[in-house]
Amino acid sequence: MLRQLAATALLLATLPVQAIVMRDDVPREDYRCDEACAGPTALFHLGNRRGGGAGTLIAPRWVLTAAHVAEHVEVGDTVSIGDDEFEVAQIALHPQAAQRDGFVDAALVQLSAPSEVIPAAINGSSEEAGKAVAFIGAGAPGDGRQGLGRFDGVVRRAGNRIEETRDHWLVFTFDAPDSESTLADEGISGPGDSGGPAFLRDVSGYCVAGISSWQDNDGQEGVYGVREFYVRTASIAGWISETLTAEDATVATCEP
């Protein structure tokens, strides 16, 4: 994995954080994300409030996440990136975060000072359909046959392919091993990974194409056949640029 993945930020709460769900026929060690893959991690300590999720540093002072995750973050909460700690200075929800129709599950969290971690670029292309993506998460090693497991704190990486695009959504399916469309590292995110990134690769590295939001699981979690929905960063790039203040560097974009 290239350096952009070092910007991944995990938002943790007091509840167990469950993460990457994998194929049951592939050794779990194959999904491990080493230090070069995971990089420095930003930890949002939410105290005793219910919540949890993930986010990605996209500018020195800004983390991109889901609105339903940001609702559990407050100004003054502590953020750790590597050995450095920051306070949350501001939280900006997407204007459509509260709408029932046209809902956009996106938010930006501003840090009190810039991080030295290299921010991730965001995808600026609307041609995502059919492309492979990568997810990163830390937590329970679930698999598609048995479902969710128990938290173990290991950082893992999995892949999937964008099956469908909608106005504000990227759609993935957790394909079983016998499916013609399954990937060697097929997987999905799990509870606790909301707000985390789906990375697309371009010539210069990896960039954020989506924000983990929700699953259509028909009452089941972490099993084959689950469909997962991520907010399309290409559809909210304008809002991101408008929200970043003048003293912040312009967020980088890529077109894989």
Helices in 22-71 by DSSP H: which ranges?
A: 35-38, 67-70
Q: pTM score, two decimals?
A: 0.87
HSE-CB at 42 with a 13 A cutoff on CA atoms is 35
From the list 155, 193, 159, 164, the residue with the least C-alpha distance to 68 is: 193
Whether the CA torsion 123, 138, 26, 221 is positive or negative: it is negative
From the list 256, 245, 244, the residue with the least C-alpha distance to 64 is: 244
Q: Which two tokens stand for residue 232?
A: 């399309």
Buried b (16+ CB within 10 A) or exposed e, 209-246: bbbbbbbeeeeeebbbebbbbbbbbbbbbebbeebbee
CB 170 within 8 A of CB 32: no
d(CA 98, CA 68): 10
CB 88 within 8 A of CB 79: yes
pLDDT at site 252: 81
d(CA 222, CA 20): 9
Whether the CA torsion 108, 114, 115, 117 is positive or negative: it is positive
CB 39 within 8 A of CB 45: no
CB 20 within 8 A of CB 198: no
pLDDT tens for the chain, 256 residues long, are 333 444 555 543 323 334 689 999 999 889 887 665 654 455 554 443 444 677 888 888 998 999 998 888 889 988 776 677 889 999 999 999 988 888 999 999 999 999 888 888 899 888 899 999 988 876 567 899 988 777 777 778 899 999 999 999 999 999 999 999 999 999 998 766 788 889 987 666 678 999 989 888 777 778 899 999 999 999 999 999 999 876 666 788 877 6
